[in-house]
Chains A and B, each alone.
Chain A
Amino acid sequence: MARFPTREELVTCATGFIVKSPSAIEDEYNDGAELKSKASTGYTPEMSTTDLLPLDAFSRRERGERANRLSSLDIATFFHRLSVLSRDSEHKAVDAVYNFIDDLLQKNDFESCDDVLAMAQPSNLLLSVVISFLIVTRRAKPKLNARAQFLDRSQQFYANDGLGATLGKYA
């Protein structure tokens, strides 16, 4: 298993990502209840919003500033990472979607979540990843204007494969 760096050993990757230790991530949450429950199962989040944010967004949060709406760069970075993960394992990519969107929704950051859905291109995503986006955003759909359009785009893209109706279940 890959060794997590300590807080002092934060590594800025060539891609501009910050790799943080689980304890550093935990520190960032004032209410660490959720992470504690994860820790009790030995679970280490595969990827949270913080793992995926580029340096500027991370610094903003590290300084304790109010979490702002994600920038286009933040979201593009997320999709880039998602595509890298998808090549490694679609299961990892699916978990990344659940964790990333869950983080945003738990913070009531519906605007960022909407932006993510607006930028999501079904042609660049695995079908399982598309479905994960639709499942995890189901409850919040009244607040996510871009969700219906993302579903439409996905149905159109997969129409020739006869999967349009399959995706319709997740409306």
Chain B
Amino acid sequence: MSPGMSRILGQQSLPASLGVACCDGPHVAIVYLAEDFQNFRILHFAWDRDLRDEEYDIATRQQYVCVVPNLHPAELVALAGYCRKIYRANCAGANMPYNLQYEEGVYFDPDTGTFVIAQEATGLSCATFVVHFFRTTGNPLLRASDWPKPSDEDISRQDKLAKMLLRSNDLITKMHGRIAETQVGCPRIRPEDVAGACLVDSIPAGFDESRSKGTVVMALLMERAAAQ
């Protein structure tokens, strides 16, 4: 087993302070030690203007595979604190639009933890939310410029997400859907790619290694689901 694979946690295990959890949505989230310093919570960008912070309880854990990025334990403690700060600063979540493409103009203010979006940027997805979180703290998980043109499967998924936004009754979400529609066909950082990047020994991870390790995470999810 490569050293990276040892950072895949057991189904009921918890990270010491921070981890990245992937489920077969596919979806990806940050697991972190909560403000009571006892329980764990899961912070994730669920949908357009919908940042969620939920209990990472036993039932939730069964849906996810949790991995720990290759960072020093002290760094993970500092990042868990930053995660608590990000949720407090953005708990309303109203200004975080959903999109399909990775954009450098999106980040979290290192000082306040608030979400910042440049004028030319359009938003983020569940996967790029996690990517931006780590990048903002000085720990880029992956090299986004390395991601190739999307596969047919990726385009189909992007098309489905854009249509879901367009079908919304909410006018703002619908507007974000129109933007997302124009982004179908852009390189797609999959949720499992982000989890895969955490298993690479030296970050930022490239596309090939992230995708191959992400595939292992997805296989493990299937295996666990079949066993239940």
Contacts and interface: CB of A to CB of B under 8 A. Distances in A.
Nearest to B81: A94
Interface string A82-95: 00000001111011
B178 interface: no
B91 A40 contact: yes
B112 interface: yes
Interface residues of A, number: 35
**Which of B17, B80, B111 gathers the greatest number of chain A CB atoms within 10 Å?**
B111
A132 interface: yes
A135 B110 CA distance: 6
Contacts of B82: 98, 132, 135-136
Contacts of A105: 111-112
A131 B74 contact: yes
A129 B113 CA distance: 17
B80 A91 contact: yes
Interface stretch (A8-16, A60-68, A70-78, A137-145): A137-145
Contacts of B110: 135-139
Contacts of A90: 77
B109 A139 contact: yes
Given A41-B91, A166-B72, A135 B77 contact: no
Contact of A169 (B33, B109, B112, B138): B138
Contacts of A135: 78-79, 82, 110, 137-138
Contact of B78 (A89, A102, A131, A139): A131
Given A37-B92, A102-B112, A169-B138, A95 B72 contact: no
Contact of B74 (A43, A128, A140): A128
B138 A94 contact: no
B91 A132 contact: no
A166 B75 contact: yes
A102 B89 CA distance: 11
A169 B138 CA distance: 6
B118 to A, nearest CB: 14
Given A131-B74, A136-B110, A136-B111, A37 B138 contact: no
B138 A98 contact: no
Chain B: interface residue count, which band? Answer: 20 to 34
Given A40-B91, A43-B35, A137-B111, A91 B77 contact: yes
A109 to B, nearest CB: 12
A95 B81 contact: yes
Contacts of B137: 135
Q: Which of A34, A134, A136, A166 has the most CB of B within 10 A?
A: A136
B72 A127 contact: yes
Nearest to A40: B91
A4 interface: no
Contacts of B80: 91, 94
Nearest to B110: A138
Interface of A: 34, 37-38, 40-41, 43, 89-92, 94-95, 97-98, 101-102, 105-106, 126-129, 131-132, 134-140, 163, 166, 169-170
9 contacts: A90-B77, A91-B17, A94-B80, A128-B78, A132-B78, A132-B81, A134-B138, A135-B110, A135-B138
Nearest 5 Cβ contacts at the A-B interface: A94-B81, A127-B74, A128-B77, A131-B78, A128-B74
Given A95-B81, A102-B113, 20 more contacts: A38-B88, A40-B91, A41-B53, A41-B88, A43-B35, A43-B88, A89-B37, A91-B37, A94-B77, A94-B80, A94-B81, A95-B84, A105-B112, A126-B74, A131-B74, A135-B110, A136-B82, A139-B110, A166-B72, A169-B138
